[in-house]
Amino acid sequence: MTPCLICTHDAGPSRTACVRCEHRIRGWLGELPRQHVLLVASLELGTRPAQGFGGTGRAHSPLPVRGDVLTLLGPAAPGPVHDTLGDQGGPQPIHAVLHAWADQLAEDLGHLLPPINPRAPYADYLARHLGHAVRASWIAHMHTELADLIRRIRTVTSTEPRRRALDAPCPHCQAFALGHLDWDTHIDCEACGRLLTPDEYETHRAVVMPPLARIGVLMAAAQHLAQEAS
């Protein structure tokens, strides 16, 4: 068994991160462009009271925009960043974090970074090559930085994907742990990490649910009879 560098569960052959962790990272990369829109909308002050407003004796006027949001949306350094060793202190803009990891990935893959897509800076690129990242030695470090980024963004936008539990058990591990996270393309099992497309889930559900419902009815009837007899 090769332990996942992120969660220590079995990562699977020739991988450094397990399927479940890969799925979480892919979810974050898909969430970033959506959160970007909300971040831009919360840039102007007024979404919450400005700090120090009301006579703290400040000698200068506060910025007309939120500093924490500005930091997140801020531009990155123009050239290759190479901060994948984590030697830069302080909160990093979204672009800087993604650029650094995209740069690392491109170097590993031995090609040049593609031109930037301003709406989803490098998130698409990272998602496209995530299969390589989950076999790289630095995956846990990338996971930590993305987790921190997403946490900072969600704090500002007060928006995070909600999970809706589904009723059929997992076809792989039989746990009742299947669910769908907003914005996600797949249904996932929280217990074993198995992923299903919505179509696969519906097919599976159509097969397993009628017998399960029948068992449920029989159990309820047996319970009812037992209560009547006592």
Residues numbered 57-96 forming contacts with Zn ion, rule: CB under 5 A: none
DSSP assignment letter at 45: T
Residue type, 78: P
Beta partners for residue 227, in sequence order: none
- C-beta atoms surrounding 182 within 10 Å: 13
Q: Does 191 bind Zn ion (CB under 5 A)?
A: yes
Tell me the closest approach of the beta carbon of residue 204 to Zn ion, in angstroms.
11
Q: What token pair was written down for 37?
A: 């829109």
| Beta strand segments in 182-223, E | 187-189, 195-196
- C-beta atoms surrounding 86 within 10 Å: 10
According to CB under 5 A, which one of 120, 189, 195, 196 is a site residue for Zn ion? 189
Tell me the closest approach of the beta carbon of residue 85 to Zn ion, in angstroms.
22
According to CB under 5 A, which one of 76, 133, 139, 170 is a site residue for Zn ion? 170
According to CB under 5 A, which one of 38, 43, 116, 192 is a site residue for Zn ion? 192
According to CB under 5 A, which one of 15, 16, 18, 166 is a site residue for Zn ion? 18
Q: Does 168 bind Zn ion (CB under 5 A)?
A: no
Half-sphere exposure of 174 (CA within 13 A, CB side): 1
Q: Does 37 bind Zn ion (CB under 5 A)?
A: no
CA distances to 34, 41, 82 from 76, rounded to whole Å, are 20, 20, 12
Tell me the closest approach of the beta carbon of residue 175 to Zn ion, in angstroms.
5
Site residues, Zn ion (CB under 5 A): 4, 6-7, 18, 21, 170, 172-173, 189, 191-192, 194
